[in-house]
A and B are shown apart, each in its own frame.
Chain A
Amino acid sequence: MLDLNTKKIKKNAYRITKVRGETASRVRVPGGLLTADLLPLIQNIAESYGNGRIHLTTRQGFEIPGIKFTDMDAVNALLQPIIDKLGINQEIPGKGYTSAGTRNISACIGSNTCPFATYNTTNFAKRMEKEIFPNDLHFKVAFTGCANDCIKTRMQDFGIIGMTEPQYQKERCMGCQACVKACKKKSVDALAVENYRIVRNTEKCVGCGECVINCPTRAWTRSPETYYRMVLMGRTGKRNPRLAEDFLVWATEDAIVKIIKNTYGFVNHYINREAPGGKEHIGYIIDRTGFEEYKKWAMEGVELDPRTIVKNPVYWGGIHYD
């Protein structure tokens, strides 16, 4: 006879499934990068306690279905080395993931591998995981290396898009215009030629680094600092799916971390406790309070780089089905 507290089970990163008596375990992999030695551990859980199958989640974790609720303690024990190896914050060792609201931090493959990435997305995702997990509030954060946005940050509550500020050393430029062609064809056409040299439209430039990638003489190089575009409150769902909108452009890592952490205070203050399951998405809360109120909370104590452009006000579009 099963006698379960489903709320506790869900907070322990187990799902209430359609199959009576069966759950599924969600394994967090911050930044979507793990060492291969963890795969046999996941395989072992799936074969020992699941149905032998593993689902690759959209947030880059693993979901192991077909686990009996009665085996959750045993599965938690097997999860422990995975949790340890991936450096997941844990309130009670040995008890699995102690919260599930703040979702796995996703990231594209980033500058470890990708030639277009402007920063190490894995490292930033792991830092963010350390800063905000565990927490029961429903937050979705994703990191992408460049404006191509392969991880689809614009479908997240918080999307972080890498930017580099191209540095031009005109005496290293012979005017081949590889940068101009690349920017025009692959990016936003922010480069023009004046007296055989390149003029960058700083208002148009999205910091994708195509000029740097295509320059054959190192006339274009990356800024020592990495900058980020921070986009807010994209979402899927029944009522008003929409893409995230720009909030900060040319922002720094510390400002982004602070803003996301501040948002927990805002949500705690304004969340509708009567909402089904006590869950209300941040975007809908901001829709209720207005962006100005959110911004007040978000920017509390945030130090912005002088380069950072703050978009204000922020308006969202999307489709309204409600």
Chain B
Amino acid sequence: MGYHTTPEKMNAIFSDLSKDYLIYAPKRFVGDGTFTDIDTIRYGEITDLAEIEFAEKSDYSFKEVLLPISETLFYFTENEMKEADPPKKGAIVFLRSCDLHGLKRMDTIYLENGAVDTYYKRLRDQTKFILIGCENSFDNCFCVSMGTQKSDDYDAYIKVDGQTVLVDSHWDVLDTALAGQAPAPVTPDSVTANDTVVTIPETVPQTLFDAPFWEDYGNRCIACGRCNFVCPTCTCFTMQDIFYTDNGKAGERRRVWASCHVDGYTDMAGGHAFRNDKGQRMRFKVMHKVNDYKRRFGSHMCIGCGRCDDVCPEYISFANCINKLNDLVNDTVKEEN
């Protein structure tokens, strides 16, 4: 149901909701960036719509709300263990359409890929999602190529237009709170084209596994993992068992983000690592995003937000890599025919 309301009314509603929910949205963190006097836009708690950065793409995705960078799973001491308490409140997350599609990828990995991940599920079940519209495409976005530019799978859509707040609610709690506000049809803003257009090869022949194509990335990638950390569909984690320094008989198990580009990802007992070459790490990631995941789950993993291209300090373009790979696949298929 659509409504027109005011920022004051909307903030009052959020104030009420904050009794039960922490509200997360992309925020500007002044001076928080990699370099001096550079801001970061990333997720943080808000109490007022004015704190939300609507005008720019966030550098980091919403995923840290559902998959904290570092999360204590349980505490242990001698013969006993205790699961870490879940947050006392649920969460409300503001996010764009591409990220909402990213949420489906996270759900697939954590809820539908074998055993249900209880730590993910207990956060996910308590989270509501509010769509942010896109009036324009941002640099490096290729959502249209990935078909993620629209979504109606939201609890609400909210757009602040001066002194008017446009709301499309799919959430009864919000409908109740907005009762009496002017009803009006509200359609989320979405883009119809991006400057970046990506063509994904239908299938990638196994022969390209060791193609020289990947060597260029081996020379350029510095294995910092930024592309993974900003990606809303990168869901890998690793475990850290901590023994408290004051008392080695007690400790905790944490899970933390992991990156297939960072050294150590493929380390195994005995010291063996099977993807030391950074070009092969690029191949692994690219193939996972636009080939392997689809074969298993039916849709591409990549949602076309372009954050990996935004962040790479070595100016490696994932989007361009896919297009070059597509050309290579076409050439290879021609040769074979």
- The total of chain B residues at the interface (CB under 8 A) is 29
Q: A216 to B245, Cβ gap below 8 A?
A: no
Report A-chain residues with C-beta under 8 Å of the C-beta of B245: 194-195
Tell which of B36, B225, B242, B243 touches A118, judged by Cβ atoms closer than 8 Å.
B36
Q: B257 to A174, Cβ gap below 8 A?
A: yes
Report A-chain residues with C-beta under 8 Å of the C-beta of B224: 178, 214, 216
Tell which of A111, A214, A221 touches B32, judged by Cβ atoms closer than 8 Å.
A221
Complex Cα distance, B34 from A173, in Å, reads 15
Report A-chain residues with C-beta under 8 Å of the C-beta of B40: 218
Q: Please give me the residue from chain B that is nearest to A195 by CB atom.
A: B242
Complex Cα distance, B257 from A252, in Å, reads 37
Q: A196 to B240, Cβ gap below 8 A?
A: yes
Q: Is B37 an interface residue (CB 8 A)?
A: yes
Q: A171 to B70, Cβ gap below 8 A?
A: yes
Interface centre among A216, A218, A222 (most CB of B within 10 A): A216
Distance to closest chain A CB from B240 (angstroms): 4
Q: B229 to A217, Cβ gap below 8 A?
A: yes
Q: A174 to B32, Cβ gap below 8 A?
A: no
Interface residues of B in 260-292 (CB under 8 A from A): 262
Q: B242 to A120, Cβ gap below 8 A?
A: no
Q: Is A213 an interface residue (CB 8 A)?
A: yes
If the complex has contacts A117-B36, A120-B37, A217-B257, are A174 and B31 also in contact, measured as CB distance less than 8 A?
A: no
Report A-chain residues with C-beta under 8 Å of the C-beta of B36: 111, 117-120, 145, 164, 209, 222
Q: Is B97 an interface residue (CB 8 A)?
A: no
Report B-chain residues with C-beta under 8 Å of the C-beta of A216: 224-226, 229, 259
Complex Cα distance, B259 from A209, in Å, reads 23
Report B-chain residues with C-beta under 8 Å of the C-beta of A178: 224-225, 262
Q: Is B84 an interface residue (CB 8 A)?
A: no
Tell which of B34, B68, B258, B259 touches A213, judged by Cβ atoms closer than 8 Å.
B34
Q: Please give me the residue from chain A that is nearest to B251 by CB atom.
A: A195
Q: Is A212 an interface residue (CB 8 A)?
A: yes
Q: B37 to A217, Cβ gap below 8 A?
A: no
Report A-chain residues with C-beta under 8 Å of the C-beta of B254: 196
Interface residues of B in 237-253 (CB under 8 A from A): 238, 240, 242-243, 245
Report B-chain residues with C-beta under 8 Å of the C-beta of A215: 34
Q: Is A41 an interface residue (CB 8 A)?
A: no
Report A-chain residues with C-beta under 8 Å of the C-beta of B256: 173-175, 196
Interface residues of B in 4-35 (CB under 8 A from A): 29, 31-35
Distance to closest chain A CB from B259 (angstroms): 7
Q: B34 to A174, Cβ gap below 8 A?
A: no
Q: Is B69 an interface residue (CB 8 A)?
A: yes
Q: B42 to A218, Cβ gap below 8 A?
A: yes
Distance to closest chain B CB from A213 (angstroms): 6
Report B-chain residues with C-beta under 8 Å of the C-beta of A221: 29, 31-32
* With A115-B35, A174-B256, A178-B262 already in contact, 11 other A-B pairs whose C-beta atoms are closer than 8 Å: A171-B69, A174-B70, A174-B238, A176-B262, A196-B242, A213-B35, A216-B259, A217-B60, A218-B32, A218-B33, A222-B31
Q: A172 to B69, Cβ gap below 8 A?
A: yes
Q: Is A237 an interface residue (CB 8 A)?
A: no
Q: Please give me the residue from chain B that is nearest to A172 by CB atom.
A: B69
Report A-chain residues with C-beta under 8 Å of the C-beta of B262: 176, 178
Complex Cα distance, B34 from A118, in Å, reads 11
Complex Cα distance, B261 from A47, in Å, reads 57
Distance to closest chain B CB from A107 (angstroms): 14
Complex Cα distance, B8 from A205, in Å, reads 47
